[in-house]
Structure 1
Amino acid sequence: MIKKAAGTLVILLGGFTCQAATQYSEFRTPMDGAQWRFEGDRFHCELRQQVAGFGTLVLADRPGQPLGLSLQADWLVNTPLRSESQVVAPQWQHRAAAPSAMRLWQWTGRQAAMEGDATPYLEALEQGLGWQLEVQISDESGYRLNAEPVAVRSALNQFRQCRTALVPQPFSAVRHVTLSYRSGQLLPNTAQLNQLSDIAAYVAADPRITEVLVDGHTDNVGDHLANLALSRDRADEVGALLHERGISRDRIQVRGHGERYPLLSNNNAQGRQHNRRVTIRLVRDGQVQEVAGGTH
C-alpha cells in the first residue's frame, strides 16, 4: 500500500513503513571544461567555479570576515527545504568524504551562503579533494552539485597570494576610529597602535582616501587652556604615528578641541572617560568633512 503523508512518499509493506529516498539530479562541469577562476585585489579575494547548468560557487576572503563559500544559482525558483555540503573525493578516486566538513547553507533568493568558516574547503582543494552540495527542493527531489579539483592549481596559487596582501580591516572598520585615553595619558597604548597600523595599511591600499582627520578631545577636569594643549598634543602624537606608518603629512589634518565637544556629561567618571579621546576619520573620494561638533 502507498500513502502520501505530509508531502513525503511513504510505502507500507507488511507492517513496515519506508520513506522513499530523495532523488537528486546531478550537476557537474565536464572535466575537459572545468575551469577555476581567480578574481581579487587588496580588498577581496575570490576563487570561482561555474557548475554547468546550475550556477557559480564562490570561495571568498574579505578583510575582517571569515573565509566564506557561496552559491549564485542561475535559475532556481523555489526556496530549498535544506541544503548541505561536504568535502568529497573526486569522481576518479574512491576515498571517503570528510564528515567534519559537512555544512548547512542558508538561502536568500537565488543566493546561498554556507554556514561557518570555509577553511576546510580551501584545504580540501589543496589536498586534491572536491566539494559536493545537495540542494533539497522537496521530500522527493533535489539537486546535487559537484565541484571537482580540476585545473585549479594556478587559480589556487593566485588566491593564496591575494590573501597575504589583503588589508587587515575593511573601510567600515577604519573610516572612523576612536581612541580612548586615561586621565593624563598622552601616547596610544599597544592595542591602539595596532589600530593605527590597520588604518595606515588601508590608506596605503586605497587611492580614494584624500584626507585623514585627527581630532583630540579632553574632559573638563583642570584648566581650559591646559586641556586644549593636551588635546592637541594627543592628536599630534597620533598624526606623527600615522606618518611613521606611511601616510604622507599633507594628507593628515590635526586639530585639538580641548573640552569643547563632549560626547557625554562630564559630571561623572564614565562620561569623562568617553570624552577623553582622539578620533581618526578617513575622507574618501573627497566626501564632505563632518563638522567638529557633530561626531568628534
Structure 2
Amino acid sequence: MYVKFGIALLSLLLSFEISAVTFRSSIDDAKWELEASKFSCRLSQVIPSFGNAEFEREAGEDLRFTLKPTENIHFSAGAKLVAEAAPWQPGISPRFIGSYKPEELTGYLQVKPKQAKNMLAALYKGMMPTFTSPEWYGTNESLRVAVSAVNFQSAYDDYVLCTTGLLPVNFRQVARTAVLFPSAQWRLSDASRERLDLIALYVKNDDSVKGIYIDGHSDSQGRRLMNRDMSKRRAEEVTAYLISIGLDPNMITTRYHGERYPVVPNNSKKNRDRNRRVTIRLEKE
C-alpha cells in the first residue's frame, strides 16, 4: 500500500514539476546563512526571484520555519509541503509533510515545530522540502518552491552549535512576571527563586534592559495598613533577592500598593491567591 502511494505521489509530483512555475536556487547559487546570538539562531536561504526560507530557534522556544515570499499573493490557494529527492538521489520516494494556508497580511507560510524538524531531517539527508500550490498569481499556472539541500550539512552543524548557547528564556517570557505568596507570608519559595534566577540571567545578558519595576500587592483580608505593610515586605524580599544574585540595584524601582490594585475581585479564595503577588516588569531602552 505504502509503495503504491509513494509511486502515485512521485508520478503526481513529476507531472506537476513539468508544468509548474518553479523557484529554487541552482547548485552554484545555493547558500545557507546563519545569524547566531544568545537570543536566537536563524538559518536562512535566499530563493532567487521569490523570497526567503528561514528556520529559527528563539531562546525558550521550539524550532519554527517560515517561507517568506516577497509578495503576499503566491499561495492564495494554500500549499502542500513534500520532501522530494534531489536529482542525484534516484529511487528515493517523496515524503508528504503537511498542508498550509498563508498568513493573511504577509502571505508567509508558517510550518509547525514538528514538521519543521522533519524539514531539517530531510535537508540533512540531501532531500528538498518543496511547497506546491495549484495557482500562481491567481492564474491557472501551478507553483513549486523548493528549498535546496546544497551546502546544508555544514551550515546545520553551525546551527546546532548556536542552539547550545541559547538562553533558556526570551524577553517575552520574562518581561512580565508575577510571584505569588501564601496568606500572611512574604518569604520566597524555591519555585519563586528559580523564576527570579531566570529573570536575572536574562537581564545580565541583554544590555537593552534598562529598568526593573517591582510592585508588591496583597489581598483584601485584614486591615489596610497591615496589607500595605505585607505588600512592602513582599516587594522588598524580591528586590533583595535579585540584588543578592547580581543585579544592579540602580536598575530597580520598588513599590508597594497593599490591596489597592487587585487583578481579580477578592471574592473567593482562588482570587485572593492571585492577588497576593509581586509583579516584576522589565523595561528596555
Tell me, what secondary structure is at the counterpart of 2:44? strand
* Aligned partner (choices 33, 40, 44) of residue 44 of structure 1: 40
Q: Residue 39 of structure 1 aligns to which amino acid in structure 2?
A: E
For residues 122 and 245 of structure 2, what CA distance do their matches in structure 1 show? 37
TM-score, with structure 1 as normaliser: 0.76
Give the equivalent residue in structure 2 for 1:205. Answer: 205
Residues 9-53 of structure 1, C-alpha deviation per residue, up to 9 Å, x if partnerless?
A: xxxxxxxxxxxx753223221112211111233333211112223
Give the equivalent residue in structure 2 for 1:222. Answer: 222
Give the equivalent residue in structure 1 for 2:178. Answer: 178
Query: Number of aligned pairs?
Result: 264
Between Structure 1 and Structure 2, which shows a larger proportion of strand residues? Answer: 1
1:110-129 maps to which residues of 2 (within 5 A)? 111-117=107-113, 118-129=116-127
Give the equivalent residue in structure 1 for 2:95. Answer: 98
**1:183 to partner: Cα distance:** 1.0
Q: Return 5+ residue gaps in structure 2 as ranges.
A: 1-14
* Aligned partner (choices 69, 80, 85) of residue 81 of structure 2: 85
1:55-94 maps to which residues of 2 (within 5 A)? 55-74=51-70, 77=73, 79-94=75-90
Greater Cα radius of gyration, structure 1 or 2: 1
Give the equivalent residue in structure 2 for 1:168. Answer: 168
For residues 71 and 207 of structure 1, what CA distance do their matches in structure 2 show? 31
Give the equivalent residue in structure 1 for 2:134. Answer: 136
Tell me, what secondary structure is at the counterpart of 2:197? helix
For residues 198 and 133 of structure 2, what CA distance do their matches in structure 1 show? 40
TM-score, with structure 2 as normaliser: 0.79
Between Structure 1 and Structure 2, which shows a larger proportion of helix residues? Answer: 2
- Decide whether the 8 Å contact of 2:215 with 2:279 is kept in 1: yes
Mean Cα displacement is larger for which, 209-218 or 229-238?
229-238
Q: Residue 199 of structure 2 aligns to which amino acid in structure 1?
A: I
**1:68 to partner: Cα distance:** 1.7
For residues 241 and 250 of structure 1, what CA distance do their matches in structure 2 show? 14
For residues 71 and 257 of structure 2, what CA distance do their matches in structure 1 show? 57
Aligned-residue sequence identity (percent) comes to: 29
Please provide the CA RMSD for this pair. Answer: 2.8
Tell me, what secondary structure is at the counterpart of 1:183? coil
Residues 129-188 of structure 1, C-alpha deviation per residue, up to 9 Å, x if partnerless?
A: 331111321695312122222112343233223323333333333222122222133334
Tell me, what secondary structure is at the counterpart of 2:102? strand
For residues 69 and 263 of structure 1, what CA distance do their matches in structure 2 show? 37
Give the equivalent residue in structure 1 for 2:26. Answer: 30
1:236-247 maps to which residues of 2 (within 5 A)? 236-247=236-247
For residues 151 and 231 of structure 2, what CA distance do their matches in structure 1 show? 58
Tell me, what secondary structure is at the counterpart of 1:163? helix
- Decide whether the 8 Å contact of 2:73 with 2:107 is kept in 1: no
- Decide whether the 8 Å contact of 2:78 with 2:99 is kept in 1: no
- Decide whether the 8 Å contact of 1:87 with 1:102 is kept in 2: no
Residues 275 and 110 of structure 1: CA distance in aligned 2, closer, same or farther (over 3 Å): closer
Tell me, what secondary structure is at the counterpart of 1:123? helix
Residues 177-231 of structure 1, C-alpha deviation per residue, up to 9 Å, x if partnerless?
A: 1222221333344543443233223212221211211121112333444433332
Tell me, what secondary structure is at the counterpart of 1:196? helix
Q: Return 5+ residue gaps in structure 1 as ranges.
A: 1-20, 286-296
